[in-house]
Amino acid sequence: MKQVFIGLIFILSVLLVVDQFIVKSGKNNTSITNSEEDAGAQSLLDSEQSVEAVADYGLQIGQAAPDFTLETLDGTTLSLKDLRGKKVLLNFWASWCGPCKEEMPHMQKVYEQIKDEDTIEIVAINLTIGKESAEDAAKFVREMGLSFPIPLDIGGKVQEAYEIYPIPTSYFIDANGVIQSKYLGPMNEEYIMNELNKL
């Protein structure tokens, strides 16, 4: 009986520690935890980091968004320069990333609201490197019911240009191609719409 009691205390202690980590991560919205499977794309941020330190990751507000040309999952070619004149939400993700999976339904809801507008675009670049394959991305997109453009960054050149470390990472780019805001971690529908409306 004593061993069962000790076992229960141990399990409750572990659950409490995990719960506290999740609560702490959720409060600052900057700690992102990805699967540990892909050592080449590690993106676990130390939960002790300040918001200022996290904000240093990636390109900065006011910088021109680097152009790219990538093939999408549906076989078309997408270039950022072709979207000039539109507000763009540029998101970086992978199918193995838990926070990415959490975020995608929110992005899809926003896309369904804005897809007929000629002035806004959502583009979600799949980091097709390491263990991530185009097949993994396609399966994820089917399962999640996503309909916005999904370019494949095979080899990680765009990831490198945008200095992506944690994922998901999102950039909000104005009609002139300038980064106006960025977000590290999963976003919800309200946040996405607010940021797009600010552009």
Going from N- to C-terminal start, the domains of the chain cover 31-198
pTM of the shown model:
0.74
Q: Which CATH number fits domain 31-198: 2.60.40.10, 3.40.30.10, 2.60.40.1110, 3.40.50.620?
A: 3.40.30.10
Q: Decide if 171 contacts 59 (C-beta within 8 A).
A: yes
> pLDDT value at position 54?
52
E runs forming strands in 4-86: 69-71, 77-79
> Which pair of tokens denotes residue 30?
């900057």
Q: Is 35 left (phi over 0), alpha (psi -120 to 50) or beta?
A: beta
55-126-162 Cα angle (round to 5): 35
How does pLDDT run across 48-105, given as a tens digit for each residue? 343 444 567 789 999 999 999 999 999 999 999 999 999 999 999 999 999 999 999 9
Q: Decide if 78 contacts 158 (C-beta within 8 A).
A: no
